[in-house]
A and B are shown apart, each in its own frame.
Chain A
Amino acid sequence: MENKETYWSENIRIIFICLAIWFVVSFGFGLLLVEPLNAIQIGGYKLGFWFAQQGAIYSFLGLIFWYGHKMNVLDKKYAQESK
């Protein structure tokens, strides 16, 4: 029982970290901070514009795979993997 609860609270912690990054790269860099970031130029891209049209998507990808990896480790630790 206790095992289950620590498993769940660790899961929640990982989700919080992921969703914080999710929010920052899309709503933060792509929308709210787009103007200051646009002052920075990477190649032909203004940085804020790049985040909104490219960077956010790459970050989402990284997040999902990182979450999957972290959870697989957690599943092993708490013997939750499927046999």
Chain B
Amino acid sequence: MEELKLYTYIAVFGTFALYFAIAWWARAGSTSDFYVAGGGITPMQNGMAIGADWMSAASFISMAGLIAFLGYGGSVFLMGWTGGYVLLAMLLAPYMRKHGKFTVPEFIFDRYYSKTARIVAVVCLIIASITYIIGQMKGVGVAFSRFLEVDYGLGLAIGMFVVWVYAVLGGMKGITYTQIAQYVVMIFAYTIPAIFISFQLTGNPIPQLGLGSTLADGSGVYLLDKLDLVVTELGFKEYTTANLGGTLNMFAYTISLMIGTAGLPHVIMRFFTVPSVQAARQSAGYALVFIGLLYTVAPAVGAMARLNLMNTIEPVAGENLAYAERPQWFKDWEKTGLLKFEDKNGDGLIQYTSNTTDAPITITGSISGKEIVLLPNEMVKVDRDIMVLANPAIANLPNWVIALVAAGGLAAALSTAAGLLLAISSSISHDLMKGVLTPDLSEKNELLAGRIVMTIAILVSGYLGMNPPGFAAGTVALAFGLAASSIFPALMMGIFSKKMSGTAAVSGMVAGIGVTMLYVFQHKGIMFIPGTSFLGDSGPNWFFGISPNAFGAVGALVNFGTAFIVLQFTGPAPAHIQALVENMRAPGDAPAAHDH
């Protein structure tokens, strides 16, 4: 245990020292450096930075754990969080880069010639980003407190300080280069344990292939077939076919995540940092290469972690592990309260089944066809979020691998938090202050304002992370739903419909966001406060069985529909705006991203 602690300190502080050094080396001098890194980032560098920016604690820590327990149903995250890049590359990024401004609300202001539109966009952006950031801050606090064995609050404070130093000092330039380093740390931390585990289980070191291979125990059985058999014998749903709330729900969920991805401001902003339209298209491709590296490994991590967990608890069918002989990782996670065992039948053995009643039940195995008696489940709590962090220990990997995973999880959370903070600070200092309230702000003062806003945003999100209102999962869904139902449709119509008018687009944004918020709040509580949900968070009340997390797709449809109906009444956009759109569509010589 002492050795693990030492390695963890080395890995975490070593990587932090690296991030600080990079931020110092690449500190920002001008507003252009601060917002768009001076426009001089290459597509490959940008792709890597987008990867780090995009893959948050949710991707790194939670996703494989979700897949481990949802099986096939977890595919919505895999397709949803990657498919959005196809939309970005073809529908948004090149044209917005051609237009050449610093921020998303600024683009909306130019295209829809209205300060109201700009303010609506700023509000959507801030709500989406702040909700997202709280989750990152919480992830930082949890990871620090678990691995450095410090108090949760102290862990969070260290994380806030680190983000503050390099985001405030370096701006986009510092963030971009730090994120490249963080991507490298993150991807090593994710794939190395996966390679070890894949090799242990199947003899094939490439996890993407290992998942489709036979087991290395000489049985000749495919890993996925074995997993299907093991879980169905315990009454769980078959891994490779388990659905998530029906096909329609999975469909809407995937769409919602895809267009939410394409509408998230901190990702779109990244495309303003490259020198040309061609580079913007290429960046999206590189971004997906670097993201895909982690996303194609994640299903293997999930399935293998599930199999290892099942095998630890019940090495041979009917011969369960004795609680007294449980491994060290089991004890460690019990301390955190995220793993809980209750010896219901008093036999001293651990039964992990789908039976949540207090009496044994008999089922027929859906694959084997055998009659099976299921004892009541005694693993009363297995938190999905511990799977990735516990995975190396479950597979008995060396301590330095476990330390590396800790550093990777922190890199994931910190890099996303920094990108979001920049999006928030630019929308306030650049769009709200410089653009609407105090247009005569000098560049130097705008930079100062940007840094002050960022400091305040860190303090606010740190405070909310310290007292989490208990809504991490719900807010991530809202962040995507908001971006999907407001920002993406407005941007897309702005480029593909020359005639779309300002009033119509604003009505669309307000209607889309309104419907989404109403639906989420009525099921999850107003601002997620329990007890204020007026229809209750239950399946039977869902609109066509679409869960609140998936509702952004419907919100986006409402947005498009409203905008086109209102357009019939307002008449088309003025001629100079139509000319602006024409210009956006032709790459020509894209100017460097600039101010007015």
Contact = CB atoms under 8 A, between A and B. Distances in A.
Contacts of A15: 90-91
Interface of A is mostly: helix
A28 B240 CA distance: 17
Contacts of B162: none
Interface residues on A, range: 35 or more
Contacts of B582: 4
Contacts of B458: none
A45 B288 contact: no
B437 to A, nearest CB: 35
A9 B252 CA distance: 30
A4 B585 contact: yes
B547 to A, nearest CB: 15
Interface in A1-29: 4, 7-8, 11, 15, 18-19, 22, 26-27
Contact of A44 (B91, B225, B247, B276): B225
Interface string B293-337: 001100100000000000000000000000000000000000000
Contacts, number: 134
Given A11-B585, A43-B212, A54-B208, A65 B296 contact: no
Contacts of B72: 34, 49, 52-53
A49 B86 contact: no
A40 interface: no
Nearest to A46: B240
Contacts of B85: 60, 64
Interface in B227-248: 240-241, 247
B586 A18 contact: no
Contacts of A58: 292, 296
B285 interface: yes
Contacts of A65: 285
Contacts of A81: 278, 587
Q: Residue among A42, A80, A82, A83 with the most chain B CB within 10 A?
A: A82
Interface stretch (B76-84, B137-145, B536-544): B76-84
B83 A26 contact: yes
Contact of A57 (B79, B214, B589): B79
B281 interface: yes
A56 B86 contact: no
Contact of A53 (B275, B299, B585): B299
B178 interface: no
B89 interface: yes
A57 B78 contact: yes
Interface string A28-47: 00111010001000111110
B289 interface: yes
B211 interface: yes
Contact of A75 (B89, B250, B587): B587
A71 B285 CA distance: 13
B546 interface: no
Nearest to A78: B586
Contacts of A44: 211-214, 222-225
Interface string B249-262: 01100100000000
Contacts of B282: 68
B551 to A, nearest CB: 18
Contact of B251 (A8, A31, A46, A63): A31
Interface in B492-527: none
Nearest to A68: B281
Contacts of A72: 278
B536 to A, nearest CB: 28
B546 to A, nearest CB: 14
A49 to B, nearest CB: 5
B213 to A, nearest CB: 6
A73 B275 CA distance: 19
B82 A57 contact: yes
Interface string B84-101: 011001110010000000
A27 B456 CA distance: 42
Given A18-B90, A43-B222, A56 B78 contact: yes
Nearest to A54: B296
B222 A82 contact: no
Interface in B45-98: 67, 72, 74-75, 78-79, 82-83, 85-86, 89-91, 94
B278 A19 contact: no
Contacts of A31: 247, 250-251, 254
B590 interface: yes
Contacts of B222: 43-44
A22 to B, nearest CB: 5
Contact of B90 (A49, A54, A67, A82): A67
A12 B587 CA distance: 14
A82 B590 contact: yes
B79 A52 contact: yes
Contact of B75 (A30, A82, A83): A30
Nearest to B282: A68
The 5 closest A-B pairs by CB, nearest first: A44-B222, A52-B75, A43-B212, A64-B285, A53-B299
Given A32-B247, A64-B85, 7 more contacts: A8-B585, A30-B79, A43-B209, A49-B224, A60-B288, A64-B284, A71-B278
6 contacts: A26-B254, A27-B254, A42-B212, A64-B86, A67-B90, A80-B586
